[in-house]
Amino acid sequence: MPPITDYLDYRIFLHDYYEEQKAISSFSWRSFSKLAGFSSSAYLKLVCDGKTRLSKVGAVRVAAGLKFSKIQTEYFCTLVHYCDSDNAVEKKADLKRLQDIAKNSKVRIVGSDACKYFESWWNPVLRELVTLMPGATALQISNMLYGGVTRVDVQEALDFLVEAGFLMRVSTNTYEQTDMAISGASDAIPKAIRSMHKHMAILAANMIDSLPKSERNVSGLTIAANKHTYERVVNELNICRKKIASIVTNAEDANRIYRVNLQMFPVTKEITDES
């Protein structure tokens, strides 16, 4: 679903979030309300149906339950006030604030910067890791990484992530993620993504020998299938990926960065009548 900064109606956002979670898990209005800390199991459904309003405190609860960043929380709370306010002057000011937040938080990366982000496997890793290690130096961060990433590699990557808009430096060695989307029609971007997938696959292979079985999970199937079966399995992998994303969104006290590879590829050529 689109990021929160693409919405101008918080009820539509909440309904879209509910529908997305329901499609990939046993999500319900009861679990949604519980996630946001409400005692009434039907409260958020009533909100989405327009039968009641979300209070200022309620907006903060929802934002916390959805693990929003500081910028996302500010946008969501402003959006709630904008939608429910009956004051034309206040609504105009809220709309201007929403537009400013969306503009500042949704940096669109095109061309060479997008390619550079995917060229190095540790760029997305660092974007997650630095939020768990506020105040850590480049050396301290590099010591936490597998794969021989040096202090210089880390510092150069962090400087790039800030310059390109993937991270925001809030104080010395302390960063926050931005709600940033990548776009661009450059033919080089898919090539850069393929390069990152290759590096991640190599890193995964190395971890088989480097880590004990209790710290990594590697499994697979060798199957016979046709095109229709292949497409069905790929669809299941996509559903699984979304469900995993939902699980980690609600995770608390994260203390390690993991990479999940979902792969399915042929190991033989297609058998035909002429084969």
The model's pLDDT over 72-84, given as tens digits with 9 standing for 90+, comes to: 899 999 999 999 9
Reported residue count of the chain is: 275
Report pLDDT for 107.
Answer: 60
The model's pLDDT over 24-66, given as tens digits with 9 standing for 90+, comes to: 888 899 989 888 889 888 899 999 999 999 999 999 999 999 8
Report pLDDT for 118.
Answer: 86
Dihedral in degrees, nearest 10, Cα atoms 234, 5, 30, 246: 30
- Asked if 9 contacts 84 with a C-beta cutoff of 8 angstroms, the reply is no
The pLDDT confidence band at residue 155, using thresholds 50, 70 and 90, is: very high
- Asked if 47 contacts 36 with a C-beta cutoff of 8 angstroms, the reply is no
The answer, yes or no, to whether residue 184 has pLDDT greater than 60, is no
Whole-structure pTM value: 0.64
Give the mean pLDDT of the chain: 88
The HSE-up count of residue 61 (CA atoms within 13 Å, CB side) is: 15
If you write DSSP's letter for every residue of 110-145 in order, what string do you get?
A: -THHHHHHHHSTHHHHHHHHTTTSTT--HHHHHTT-
In whole angstroms, what is the distance from residue 118 CA to residue 190 CA? 9
Pairing of strands 167-171, 174-177: antiparallel
Dihedral in degrees, nearest 10, Cα atoms 241, 242, 244, 246: 170
Name every residue whose Cβ is closer than 8 Å to that of residue 273 and which is 6 or more positions away in sequence. none
264 three-class SS: coil
Q: Buried (b) or exposed (e) across 60-87, using 16+ Cβ within 10 A?
A: bbbbebbebbebbbbbbbbbbbbbbeee
Higher pLDDT, 275 or 257: 257
The answer, yes or no, to whether residue 186 has pLDDT greater than 60, is no
Higher pLDDT, 69 or 169: 169
The model's pLDDT over 103-119, given as tens digits with 9 standing for 90+, comes to: 776 666 656 777 888 88
The answer, yes or no, to whether residue 183 has pLDDT greater than 60, is no
The alpha carbon of residue 216 and the mean position of all alpha carbons in its chain are separated, in whole angstroms, by 22
